[in-house]
Amino acid sequence: MTNTETLIAKLTKDNGLHRIEVDHEPVEDVLCGGWAVNEERAYGVSHVLGDVPGEGIRYGYRVAGISQINPPDEHNKRTRVFFDLVPAPEMSHLIGQPSPSGKTHGPVSYVPTATLLNGTGHVEESTDGAHAVIRGVSVFVDAEGTVHITVPAGTEVRIKTHENTD
């Protein structure tokens, strides 16, 4: 299976964020694993993003491999996967942006990697605002109408405004 999906890991106080912020555990050690994911699907994961609810994407890593797979046992009813991670500068345009998977109930969700790297080609609406990604450029218009643009490093940005003719 080719690596086609990005795993979005929701980091909460009870699910990794405390380990990073209070225990000062390296982010890679927290994001690398123990995620309850299907083993077959894990082999298709190319990136792992850390999403902090209310803040957005805070971390982005590329999967260099799978270091460990723990089958279900008496303590864990689901397979637990541990990834080898390296920094992913190609995902830097997502840092500070709302989760591309939207609001989820579980700690793990998936988004096609091509969507994150190449763009959605369409606007995704939510109660928080509207978001689109085009060739790595993220445009988010929040509920108050403020435009947030995040571009990959080295990208030239030109802004042209139109006068109101009303």
Condensed to tens digits (0 to 9), the pLDDT of residues 101-127 reads 877 778 899 988 988 887 766 777 888
Helix (H) or strand (E) holding 116: helix 113-118
Reported as a pLDDT band with limits 50, 70 and 90, residue 2 is low
DSSP string for 33-81 = EEEE--HHHHTTEEEEEEEETTTEEEEEEEEEEEEEEEPP-SS-SS-EE
Alpha-carbon dihedral angle through residues 118, 95, 48, 127, given to the nearest 10 degrees: -80
Mean pLDDT on 158-163: 76
Burial level of 33, CB count in 10 A (0-12/13-18/19+)?
buried
Mean pLDDT on 15-44: 91
Half-sphere exposure of residue 120: CA atoms within 13 angstroms, side-chain side: 15
Mean pLDDT on 83-97: 91
Does the structure show a pLDDT above 60 at 99?
yes
Question: For residue 31, is it left (φ>0), alpha (ψ between -120 and 50) or beta?
Answer: alpha
- Encode pLDDT of 6-21 as tens digits: 999 999 998 899 999 9
Q: Which residue has the higher pLDDT, 83 or 156?
A: 83
Number of C-beta neighbours around residue 97 at 10 A: 18
What pLDDT was estimated at residue 5? 94
Cα–Cα distance for residue pair 99/14, rounded to 1 Å: 19
What pLDDT was estimated at residue 166? 59
Mean pLDDT on 43-48: 96
What pLDDT was estimated at residue 122? 72
Reported as a pLDDT band with limits 50, 70 and 90, residue 67 is very high
Cα–Cα distance for residue pair 137/139, rounded to 1 Å: 7
- 150 in Cβ contact with 144 (< 8 Å): no
What pLDDT was estimated at residue 42? 93
What pLDDT was estimated at residue 157? 85
Cα–Cα distance for residue pair 144/141, rounded to 1 Å: 8
Does the structure show a pLDDT above 90 at 59?
yes
